[in-house]
Structure 1
Amino acid sequence: MYQQVSLSLIMIVLVACLFGTRLKPAWAFAGAISVSYLAGLIDLEGVLINFTNPSLITLILLILISIGIEKTAFVRKLSTSLAKGSLSKSVTKLGLSTAFLSSFTNNTAVVASLISAVKENKTHAPSKLLLPLSYTAILGGTLTLIGTSTNLIVNGFAVDAGMAPLGFFDFTLVGLAVLSAGLIAILLLLKFLPNYQEADDEVTPFYLEGKVKASSKLIGKTVEENGLRELKDIFLAEIIRGEKRIAAVTPKQVIKAGDILLFSGDLKSVPLLKQFDGLEVIHDKHEMAVEHFVEVVISHSSSLVGQTLKDANFRKEFKAAVVAIRRGHSRLEGSFANIQLQAGDSLILAPSSDFQSNKKLKREFVYISGLDLQSHLDEKQSHCVFAGFIAVIGLSIFDVVPLVKGLIVLLIAFMLWGVVSVSEVKRRFPLELFVIVGSAIGLAKLMIDTGVATQISEFVLSLVGQFGPYTALVVIFFLTLLCTELITNNAAAALSFPIAYSLAIGFGVSPLPFIMAVAFGASASFISPFGYQTNLMVYSAGNYQIKDYIKVGVPMSLVYSITALIFIPIVFPF
């Protein structure tokens, strides 16, 4: 009884932290498993063994090996073919290629490799291609056991629950069905995606900062008297005066020395601010012409994530001044110095002559206008990389060599050959994912062993039991989908699996359809830019608004869900 009550309280706090706070999921899960250990619910060996789970090790190795695969000539050739043909043809080529790559490699890496090509293409608006890129990467991940982290995580949960490991292609039939339906839906929904290349009335909401120098003629005059209310496509949103923030600036507000003026609007209007005496828009001697600016998008693996520009010592580290910041169409508040950067943020930089030679650029940014960030392999190296990877997968499928062993050997070969460097392995090691999954496996096992999952499933059974196992499967699927949209896919799988497994036991049916409902539900993130990493990566890069995700994502989610819920019980009968 003590164990059930204690674990229930821990899980309630965990869910509250995931849904109601900004605490990173890795910290929340690590805290939950640590408290479980301190409370005597699990011993130290039991905690540590979860971090050596074969599915988790496989996931980490695949992410590291994808570093080499994304450098291959195949990715480069795909990039150059994007602009050829009509929009529908381009989206189809992009979608099928992305789905194929995502079924065998990390889909986040696939999207990161293709963002630059999509942004730089001259034929189609990036906003017409980037969201389909993210969606098809998600769909492609559902095709195989190694296609997405959630499939591997669910497999780890299943093995720990005493089930046989899931096969490499167990997901494929349902995955092909959702991919086909999803790609057709994307093509039909293209007209609802914005075309920001043609929409002249669209104002890109860049967030700009100017500082009033002590010698400025703006001082002592009102906003209206200084003409700061009459700027084309740009408006004065806030004033920072010391520790005070003045929002909703009125025309009668008097400007004082040292004020930081925060503008929002079209980047092309930045040179207009140069007309105001003593207003420093960039705090060093950079040219103010827009054509000299560089746009960058912060990578999901960047050390800048969670830091402010001041904390990161940005100008010194990157030899560039930040002129403007954009986070989708979200309204940012406060001065540049206090904004915590996020993955997917777009920064407009005024670069110095040393900017392009900075070795940190590839590590920190997923996209830089005018620069190719990727180190490419030649044709021979590319063929060898693919041949090695396919050989490892093939040997695993036919039970000749375990997948973990094959991936370890392949990663060592990549490093010895110079395809992947030690520094890249250190930089790209997914520490947060490692902590989340390792902790989640332990918590899921505890929920099953202590009976907490059984109690929750009995409650669900009391509500839907009379309607049969299929209704319960639908409930689990949509519960997982909701968690994915609100938190993260991995956390959603961790919270839903023990309940799904116990429900299957309660009904006396095969757990497989319920496990597949968790796996496919955890990959169903189409409505929010924040539920899935690839959605967040294209958010600012495509200049999307939340409404763009809703307009396209809601019908996509419905098509995906209906298709999955039709095919799961057919392929995996109760």
Structure 2
Amino acid sequence: MPLDAWISLAVVLAVFPLMAFSRLGPDVVLLGAVVLLLTLGIIEPAQALGGFASTGLFTVAFMYVLVTAIRQTGGIDLIIRHVLGRPRSAFAARLRLLLPVAALSGFLNNTPVVATYIPAVLSWSRRLSLPAHRLLMPLSFASILGGTVTLFGTSTNLVVHGLLVDQDPGLAMGLFDIAWVGVPVALVGLAYLILLAPRLLPARRGASEAFENPREFTIEMEVDPAGPLVNRTVEEAGLRHLQELFLVEIERDGNVVSVVGPGERLKAGDRLVFAGTREGAVELQQVRGLVPSRQGESSLEKDFKERRLVEAVVSGQCQFVGQRIRDGHFRTLYGAAVLAVCRGGERVAGNLGQVRLQPADVLLLEARPPFIERHRQSRDFLLISQLNGAARPIHEKAWLAWGILAGVVALASLGVMSMMNAAMLGAALVLLTGCCTVEAAKRGLDTQVLLTIAASFGLGAALQSSGAAAFLADAALGLADGNPLLLLIGTYLLVALLTELVTNNAAAVITFPVVMASAESLGVNPMPFVVAVMFAASASFLTPIGYQTNLMVHGPGGYRFGDFLRVGGGLNLITAAVALTLIPLIWPF
């Protein structure tokens, strides 16, 4: 094997642990690897930038715009409103939830579907007295299963199909071609989730239950009208740098001052709400001019138009991961105050300012109304759901947005135009008809996913052009002893393992050239192996970090790492068995 091949292989092998275990985003890791390969002369500039011209990448980008339009117009909320209803049993509730979610995920990106459903499911489960943790993990898994039914279902399917078409246009697939395997996989998986998964999940407390009593994590004091703090600023009163407490809001004359700044002046009778430990109450008692609140009802139980209470799930890309809340100046950056932190279904006790944030932590925040819209697309948070105030309205253009998506599906499935052209036309129509604003479309583009996809193409090109892919293919053939079925099983298992450690797109794109080289060396049809890559890359059931929707439900559901192994392990096995049985029958070697 030439030196270029060894270097390419070493870079790729270094990329996987970096993506899995470092705090660097997969886009940063992969772009860095491409820059290194380009600098070393392993790949040409055209190969390094080839991913940015991929039809699969642009199809994914246009689909993000379509999904944003449906979300902007309240299209998913419309489905939730008419579908969930009032089932008579837990079994009926799972049917009402999982079947529509799987169907939606066949045509929409999973993340916005799950993000929209989570707050609705939490409210719905409380109304029906059903444990939310028995619904949220199945919700995430159902969305993943639904994505395997069509080429539109996941960005991975679109990207792998784009690679396939670029290599051999004659192998192009129809929109519903993978449904021959996807539908049985989804049906078997959904049956498992509806019948067995709830029995495998032990009782857990979710974040909403941990946050349900504001008195547990707030301390309320009043400014003594005859005391020395009247007309002093928060800074001057010494309330800015308390050791185990921080001032969240001031209730004054029936209104509330939220996210209090250091220059805010205190008035006689102001009711001050502090977040922190009970031990911190001792410190407050020693501040001259403050007296315990004489009102019975907690301030946080009142509804003020100037204030919103929201839950936010911390993403793995949040710049505060690993930092203390106080040290990172969370309130200054986001304009929101942390009231409590929930981890693994339990509220984190102790000094709140000293808590180091971790991925999937659920934060209870107090913020002003614009916070939700401003940070809904933030990469720092996987999910932001409002606990008080009115839900977003159902807009009159929801049906138009759904109609445009249906038209895109029809044009692509009937072969009138390519998937990229149909998605591009749909994206243009939602902008022209006002279903989505240009600003919302820009925010809806998941740049991290798009950059990850584009950079993955550069690594794939390096493996192919340097000869590393051919070397790995020969090694795989040796292990499979020339048997295409064993090679197919090995391909599926490898990609399924990688997708639990890194992003599914990166796992699929980097292994694609190896798979194609293996099929060519064996002299068999490459299609079974390509389809196996699609399905294996979607089989992200074993860990909360394996897929974004898993991480989104991890905190609100109060799950532990072992819960995903317990439920996802069985789901991985049965979906692999169905897929590996059907793929060679539909696409013979």
Deviation, structure 1 residue 488: 1.9
Other-structure match for 1:12: 13
For the pair 1:277 / 2:279, whether they are aligned, the reply is: no
Other-structure match for 2:86: 84
- The structure 2 residue matched to 1:477, chosen from 486, 492, 501, is 492
Deviation, structure 1 residue 102: 0.7
Per-residue displacement from partner, 1:319-350 (whole Å, max 9, x unpaired)?
Answer: 54212112435998997557675664311234
Per-residue displacement from partner, 1:374-425 (whole Å, max 9, x unpaired)?
Answer: 45322xx222212222112212222323332332232233223332122222
**Structure 1 residue ranges without an equivalent (≥5):** 212-256, 263-269
Q: How does 1:389-400 map to 2 (within 5 A)?
A: 389-400=405-416
- The structure 2 residue matched to 1:489, chosen from 504, 509, 530, is 504
Q: Distance in 2 between matches of 1:13 and 1:271?
A: 42
Per-residue displacement from partner, 1:183-212 (whole Å, max 9, x unpaired)?
Answer: 11011222223454799x9999x9x9999x
Q: Do the aligned partners of 1:362 and 1:373 also contact (CA within 8 Å) in 2?
A: no
Q: Distance in 2 between matches of 1:61 and 1:340?
A: 37
Other-structure match for 2:109: 106
Q: Do the aligned partners of 1:301 and 1:428 also contact (CA within 8 Å) in 2?
A: no
TM-score, with length taken from structure 1:
0.80
Q: Do the aligned partners of 2:107 and 2:152 also contact (CA within 8 Å) in 1?
A: yes
Per-residue displacement from partner, 1:161-184 (whole Å, max 9, x unpaired)?
Answer: 335323211211110011010011
Other-structure match for 1:368: 386
Distance 1:372 1:209, change over 3 A: closer
Relative to structure 2, which stretch is displaced further, 398-407 or 119-128? Answer: 398-407
Q: How does 1:181-330 map to 2 (within 5 A)?
A: 181-189=188-196, 190-196=198-204, 260=244, 273=278, 276-278=281-283, 291=301, 294-298=309-313, 309=325, 313-316=329-332, 320-328=336-344
Q: How does 1:289-438 map to 2 (within 5 A)?
A: 291=301, 294-298=309-313, 309=325, 313-316=329-332, 320-328=336-344, 344-350=360-366, 354-355=368-369, 359-360=373-374, 362-364=376-378, 365-371=383-389, 374=392, 376-378=394-396, 381-438=397-454
Q: Distance in 1 between matches of 2:509 and 2:478?
A: 23
For the pair 1:168 / 2:175, whether they are aligned, the reply is: yes
Q: Do the aligned partners of 2:205 and 2:558 also contact (CA within 8 Å) in 1?
A: no
Q: Distance in 2 between matches of 1:416 and 1:307?
A: 43
Q: Do the aligned partners of 2:98 and 2:142 also contact (CA within 8 Å) in 1?
A: yes
Q: Do the aligned partners of 1:527 and 1:550 also contact (CA within 8 Å) in 2?
A: yes
DSSP 3-state at the match of 2:15: helix
- The structure 1 residue matched to 2:526, chosen from 491, 511, 525, is 511
Other-structure match for 2:229: none
Other-structure match for 2:226: none
> May I ask how many residue pairs the two structures share in their alignment?
513
Q: Which protein, 1 or 2, shows the higher relative CO under an 8 Å CA cutoff with sep ≥ 6?
A: 2
Deviation, structure 1 residue 464: 2.0
Other-structure match for 2:236: none
Distance 1:88 1:415, change over 3 A: same
- The structure 2 residue matched to 1:179, chosen from 186, 191, 195, is 186
Deviation, structure 1 residue 68: 1.4
Q: Do the aligned partners of 2:345 and 2:556 also contact (CA within 8 Å) in 1?
A: no
- The structure 1 residue matched to 2:140, chosen from 98, 112, 134, is 134
Q: Distance in 2 between matches of 1:297 and 1:522?
A: 28
Deviation, structure 1 residue 311: 7.9
Q: Distance in 2 between matches of 1:311 and 1:152?
A: 42
Q: Distance in 1 between matches of 2:194 and 2:422?
A: 38
Q: Distance in 2 between matches of 1:147 and 1:489?
A: 13
DSSP 3-state at the match of 2:384: strand
Per-residue displacement from partner, 1:433-472 (whole Å, max 9, x unpaired)?
Answer: 1111111122213312322111112112222215x11111
Letter in 2 for 1:157: L
Q: Distance in 1 between matches of 2:408 and 2:49?
A: 28
Distance 1:358 1:185, change over 3 A: closer
Q: Do the aligned partners of 2:114 and 2:549 also contact (CA within 8 Å) in 1?
A: yes
Per-residue displacement from partner, 1:107-148 (whole Å, max 9, x unpaired)?
Answer: 111111111110111112221211111011000000111100
Other-structure match for 1:536: 551
Other-structure match for 1:97: 100
DSSP 3-state at the match of 2:385: strand
Q: Do the aligned partners of 1:132 and 1:186 also contact (CA within 8 Å) in 2?
A: yes
TM-score, with length taken from structure 2:
0.78
Over aligned residues, Cα RMSD in angstroms?
A: 3.7
Other-structure match for 1:70: 71
Q: Do the aligned partners of 1:75 and 1:113 also contact (CA within 8 Å) in 2?
A: yes
DSSP 3-state at the match of 1:530: coil
- The structure 2 residue matched to 1:523, chosen from 518, 521, 538, is 538
DSSP 3-state at the match of 1:278: helix
Q: Distance in 1 between matches of 2:369 and 2:405?
A: 35
Distance 1:413 1:53, change over 3 A: same
Q: Distance in 2 between matches of 1:444 and 1:477?
A: 18
Q: Distance in 1 between matches of 2:546 and 2:349?
A: 23
- Percent sequence identity is 29
Per-residue displacement from partner, 1:74-117 (whole Å, max 9, x unpaired)?
Answer: 52243234252121112112111111111111111111111111
Q: Distance in 1 between matches of 2:206 and 2:48?
A: 55
Other-structure match for 2:580: 565
